């Protein structure tokens, strides 16, 4: 369900909104990738990491450390 939601969400706007609300990168990563299988999380990471000024590997590390 989360992936279908993200598919139709303007990721840039969602990240900007989260940052304006004071969320950290770790909180944003968790919100975007929680409960997703690895393959889907990797897809989200490829799209969202550049918007968070992160490398994909850093995105996945933050996801794993949560």
Full domain range(s) for residue 41: 2-65
Report how many domains make up the chain. Answer: 1
The pTM is what?
Answer: 0.81
Enumerate long-range contacts of 22-29, CB under 8 Å, 24 or more apart: 25/52, 25/54, 25/62, 26/62, 26/65, 26/66, 28/52, 29/59, 29/62, 29/63, 29/66
Residue 9 has a pLDDT of 72
Residue 21 has a pLDDT of 94
Q: pLDDT tens per residue, the chain (66 residues)?
A: 455 555 567 889 999 999 999 999 999 999 999 889 999 999 999 999 999 999 999 999 999 876
């Amino acid at each position: 369900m989360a992936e279908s939601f993200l598919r139709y969400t303007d990721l840039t706007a969602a990240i900007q909104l989260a940052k304006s609300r004071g969320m950290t990168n770790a909180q944003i990563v968790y919100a975007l990738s929680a409960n997703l299988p690895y393959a889907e999380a990797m897809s989200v990471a490829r799209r969202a990491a550049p918007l968070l000024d992160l490398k994909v590997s850093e995105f996945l590390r933050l996801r794993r450390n949560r």
